[in-house]
Chains A and B, each alone.
Chain A
Amino acid sequence: MNARPTRRSFLKTAAAFGMPAIIPGSALGLNGAVAPSNRITVGAIGIGPRGRLVLSTFLKQPEAQVVMVCDVQKANRRTGKLMVDRAYKNEDCAVSSDLLEMLAREDIDAVMIATGDRWHGVGSILAAKAGKDIYSEKPCAITMAESREIDEAVKLYGRVFQAGTQRRTVPNFMHAVELARSGRLGKLQTLHASINPLQEVFEWKEGQAEPPAEEVDWDRWLGPVPWRPYHQEYVRGGWRGHHDFDAGGRLLDWGCHTVDLCQWAAGMDGTAPVEYEPDGQTIRARYADGKKLVMRLGGFNNEGDWLGLGTCPVRFEGEDGWVETGDFGKMAANPASLLADSKVPESAGTDPGAHVREFLECVKTRGLTSCNSGAMRSSHVACHAAAIAVRLGRRLVFDPATESFPDDAEANRLRSRARRAPWHA
């Protein structure tokens, strides 16, 4: 029998061999729309506040079709299904509390992961091993070792990966990076990355009675991180800052964005600073070529010596000038002439629209996203190295090639954590 290839089998084959795979609706005479049978099918994992924002962005993309939502909390599952069904004017969206059920579906091309930090890494690795492309919220990895594991799995299984560090596709940040990379600031000297106030809580909240698993599946909520007794505040967002649940004592909350932008501006994707010196809430790092990277407070309360251009500010300083920008979309520079020909539209650094569209485009073309797994790995490694220096309260020397601290056994032991059974990568 000479069976005609289905869209699904064609997409899988194309992905395996790096071929563009989606036939745009324009080619089919649909005036730019994409026929449902030719859309990229997406499963959404984690439908909390951030997950709902990213899910709503996927739902606006004509080339994507969200077919399933997954969350360990019933209320979030219900909200996710409502969002999807309303968007498509049907009741087709499947729900599950088990991401393995979603990953087992061969008709799903890509997943969006927007759980808490604890699940991003293992979820991404399991998705790669299941042959799915991945859009993962940040921080993507809860340890330095997990950053490497994700990158290796994505590359081995040939997946498209986009870290949710969307400021790489927000115009004002892109323009600031371009000024640095083009040499218009002169030889780069110091890059400044804002971070949130550092916090690492080891104490557990007093245990409460676990709700029925159908309402909140506490065992699955914990997933790969160590067990502790249930408390409702954790599942309502109060997990942040707790050592077991948060990556790097909150340094990665914003460091994933701002250190990532500094790495990009400095041309340091693929490597990381070689020295980290903590000083209270500031970490001074240095690259092998002498450039400095300063991670310092610049949180929601406008802490620190920034120009007030919005949250997540970055500043790049060269011998001939500097540029600073933040989430309001505005930019400042010296000399001001650096921005004279700027036509950058003001837009919020939190909008993932362009980032999601770039991801979907790369799923189609098998191209490399802005925040691919390699770029994610280097910026996460830099952030984790800084967080380890803060944890130990001492200057650390780091070897980016081996991702290890040559002279500090304790620092090396902080690079990974055993995962709670049965989860492994």
Chain B
Amino acid sequence: MNPEKSSSADLVKILEGDADLQLKARACQHLAIVGDEAAIPALAKLLGDVKLADFARCALENIPSPAAAAALREALGKLQGSVRAGVVNSLGVLRDREAVPALISLVPQADSGALAALGQIADDAAVAEILKQLAGADPRQAAHAALKAAQVAASEDRAEVSAKLLEAVGKAKLPDYFHSAANTAK
């Protein structure tokens, strides 16, 4: 069977059957192009599999359905380590606002990638958390998130929010190029 020529339904059968690792990985990759909502449950089951989780995320990020973000959210609380960081990344890419409370709870774990995801989502709650972290002892990751959030806010005509973030970066104890970036983004 050639996964690159298969339909969404046939690719789901590959994921649910006894196919080897490679075939399942390639099925996920092609689901990223042709997958539909019906493929989401089979993909969600792979999110805890260290070798297949990133392939599954590749498809879930692309399937145009709120059920994809819901599946990622549901997995978030059950995972640890790199597979959780991957789910966090995907929730950031999808800008899933419903994930913000869970992401905020992960911020103390620096390797979670939660701050970066919050920067991509950039709703009011995410922005508040980023501003809080900017006042911390090592604000670099928060500053990156703030600069990203400022871009997002500006693109959504939330000029006041963008300005507040950039002003906070400008005042934080950071290398000069961060301050310059904040000026550039204004």
Q: Please give the residue numbers on chain A whose beta carbons come within 8 Å of chain B beta carbons, in ascending order.
A: 12-13, 15-17, 106, 129, 131, 152, 155-158, 202-204, 226-228, 243, 409-410, 413-414, 416-422, 424
Contact = CB atoms under 8 A, between A and B. Distances in A.
Given A204-B22, A418-B54, A156 B185 contact: yes
A15 B25 contact: no
A410 B34 contact: yes
Nearest to B148: A156
Contacts, number: 92
Contact of B33 (A106, A158, A414, A421): A414
B149 interface: no
Which A-B residue pairs are the 9 nearest by beta carbons? A421-B86, A16-B180, A16-B176, A418-B58, A422-B85, A131-B177, A421-B85, A420-B54, A418-B57
Q: Interface on chain B toward A: helix, strand, loop, or mixed SS?
A: helix
Contacts of B180: 15-17, 157-158
14 contacts: A12-B177, A16-B179, A156-B147, A156-B185, A410-B33, A413-B33, A416-B62, A418-B58, A418-B89, A418-B90, A421-B54, A421-B87, A422-B113, A424-B92
A362 to B, nearest CB: 16
Contacts of B185: 156
A299 B89 CA distance: 39
B177 A226 contact: no
Interface in B150-186: 151, 175-177, 179-181, 184-185
B5 to A, nearest CB: 11
B25 A228 contact: yes
Contact of A419 (B34, B64, B89, B175): B89
Given A12-B175, A16-B176, A420-B86, A157 B54 contact: no
Among A17, A152, A413, max chain B CB count under 10 A is at A413
Contacts of A243: 29
Contact of B93 (A228, A410, A413, A418): A418
B177 A421 contact: no
Nearest to A411: B33
Nearest to A145: B93
Contacts of A158: 177, 180-181, 184
Nearest to B90: A418
A129 B116 CA distance: 12
B78 to A, nearest CB: 15
A11 B82 CA distance: 37
Contacts of B50: 227
B82 A421 contact: yes
Given A226-B25, A409-B64, 20 more contacts: A15-B177, A16-B180, A158-B177, A158-B180, A202-B4, A204-B22, A226-B54, A227-B54, A416-B62, A417-B58, A418-B57, A418-B58, A418-B89, A419-B54, A420-B86, A421-B53, A421-B82, A422-B89, A422-B111, A422-B113
Contacts of B64: 409
A151 to B, nearest CB: 13
A131 B178 CA distance: 8
B132 interface: no
A422 B147 contact: no
B36 to A, nearest CB: 11
Contacts of B179: 16
B85 A157 contact: no
A13 B176 CA distance: 6
Contacts of B32: 413, 417-418
Contacts of A157: 177, 180-181
Nearest to B150: A156
Contacts of A414: 33
Interface string B57-75: 1100110100000000000
Contacts of A422: 82, 85-86, 89, 111, 113
B15 to A, nearest CB: 15
